[in-house]
Amino acid sequence: MKTTLFFVFLLISVSNTYCQSWEIEEQNINKIIQSGKTQLEVQELVKDWRTFRSEFGDYPNLPFNEKNEIEYTYIINNQLSKEIIFDRVLEWSSINFGSLDAVLHYKNLESGKIILKGRFEIVYSYDYEGFWGNKKQGAISQECKQTYIFTIKNNKLKIQVIDVEVEVVVGGFMGVNSYIPEEKFSFPLSKYYPITNSNKNDRVGNFGWKANLNLLTEISNRIATMTTDLNEYISNYQNDFSF
């Protein structure tokens, strides 16, 4: 009976929250509760979640498309011509991602389309226990890959960032008897949310709620920053030639 009461309470909390991403987590907790948790396990889970949410603050902005996939979309308005915007996007891409031959997959000035594969490094924190059981904080660096679709129409530029993936490197060190070769795997963002599917506590190689939410936050902030940077680069077109 008490388990049912906890379940009902969480359902009410979902209906009163305004952030869709928090809703995803709390709906997932309700599913976990229904999966056969004991009364004690339910009490601990609800307590841990309330504490975590109050301490962490805002959930990262994760925009979902009609397929329930994460897709970042931005619209930039300016007074420059289609041709100038097109060229500035390519220039900015070359500056940020290196050789266009390696990242550019499609471009068509007439249709106003550019499609390329980008990547950037993210650094995010995780908690762990030290030798004496003391709480410590570490940092991990990973590559993040994404697809950019640029669409230019009149004086507007639409930026869509899709297929965001996190690259995980395993191996690359000496084992007990032999060398373990390095391997790279790419995982979509859907692997990292709902974060409540993972362990509550962070562990090296098996991160929990805080680390995964830090990862999602860092990626969202980085994409937003890059979009702002692109807008500034396009807008500074006149300044580049004022000499």
Least confident window among 105-109, 220-224, 237-241: 237-241
Which pTM value belongs to this model? 0.82
Q: Which residues pair with 30 in a beta bridge?
A: none
Residue 33 has what pLDDT? 87
The answer, yes or no, to whether residue 175 has pLDDT greater than 80, is no
CB atoms within 10 A of CB 19: 13
* Domain boundaries defined on the chain: 2-56, 72-240
Tens-place pLDDT, residues 115-137: 999 999 999 987 766 666 677 77
CATH number of 72-240: 3.30.530.80
Give the pLDDT score at 132.
67
